[in-house]
Each structure stands twice: as structure tokens, then as C-alpha cells.
Amino acid sequence: MSEQIRMPLLGDKIPEFEAQTTQGIIKFPKDFKGKWVVLFSHPADFTPVCTTEFYAFQKRYEEFEELNAQLIGLSIDQVFSHIKWVEWIRENLDMEIKFPVIADDMGEIAKKLGMIHPGKGTNTVRAVFIIDPKAILRLVLYYPQEIGRNMDEILRALKALQTADKNNVALPANWPNNDFLGDKVIIPPPKDQKTAKEYLEKYGGYDWWFCTKELENKE
């Protein structure tokens, strides 16, 4: 029987590992304590869709930095391939890749994190893990090899997680551009009848279970 590996679930501590990257050895998540991390895998170096993704991630690099978030790429290619590929991107697309790329050539990290899906081949799928400063896995996205990711959605999700944590609220669909709430946030439902009666008066909204408010300090 093949070894069964349990991939991390939302709310789990991210597994620890040491890895070779294009910027040297990293100890994960120890080296990124206190930061949010966007760890993402790509199927292979020197492939068209992945090249467009690296360009798009790097184009938004400073936006991720402003959110105290570190981008980290990963595939099962060797580090020599990663180095040559990021050189190619710099020389041909005039884009300097500033984030580290993990060389998981044995596939051990990818297996541990559930980045390899046998039904989609032996390469890593386009996985995205958003990990908070306490090394807790907060969001997972999977895309097949044939579809490139939307980096603006990844940025939006990161901002939403940070906003939810900071204000103890929930965020509606497409926040901050919800179809009928705009950029309002949602108050968590009350846990008793007394609070339920107070909610509409205190916050306003559609019902005691659907109260909203404007954020006081919008960034």
C-alpha cells in the first residue's frame, strides 16, 4: 500500500520543512515568523502559463509587501532550472523576480502539502496557500495546469483575511465591491436572544442575523 499523507487543512499549523530556493536555504515557517506568506506552486519552469503567472505575481510584489506578505514559489524542478528561468524572465520580459522559488526536485514538500494531484499528472498543480503570521493555514486555492491564476483575487483574499482578523467581522462576496453592500462588512451573528434584539439598533442591516457596518478606518 502507498503511504497516505494527510494534507494540511484550514486552521492547521503548516508543516515545517527546510528547502533549497533560488535565494538560498530557507527554514519554513521559522524564517518568516511574524509575516503572512503566500506559498504557491506551479507545474513547471519554462512553460507559458507559469511564465505569465510569475510576471503577474512580481508585478504586484510591492502590494504583497505592503500587506506584510512574503511570496514564495515552488515546483518540482531543480534549482538550476529555476535560476535559468528567472534569468530568462528578466532578460526577455524585463521583470526581475524578487521572491524565492523552492526547488522541490524530490517532490517531498509538494506531497506533504497536497500539491500533487494524480488525476492531473505528476507535476504540481497551481496551488495557493495563504499562511498567517502564526503559521496557521488560512486559505487554499487549487487551479488545474491549463488555467492561470487571478493574482488580484489572491491579493483581495489576503486583504479580506487581514480585515476580518483586525475587526472581528466577516466579508461579503466580492468585498470590497459587493453588489448591494458595497464595502460594508458583516457582523458575526449574535449568540443569544438579548444580543439579537440589540444588534439591529446598534448596527443596522437587514435582520438581527444580517447586520452590517462601515469600517471606521479604511486603508
Active site residue 211: no
Task: Quote the radius of gyration of the chain (alpha carbons, Å).
Answer: 20
Which residues on adjacent β-strands are paired with residue 37?
Answer: 70, 131
Q: Which listed residue (50, 71, 101, 116) is catalytic? A: 50
92-121: b or e for each residue (b if 16 or more CB lie within 10 Å)?
eeebebebbbbbbeeeebbbbbbbbeeeee
**What are the catalytic residues?**
50
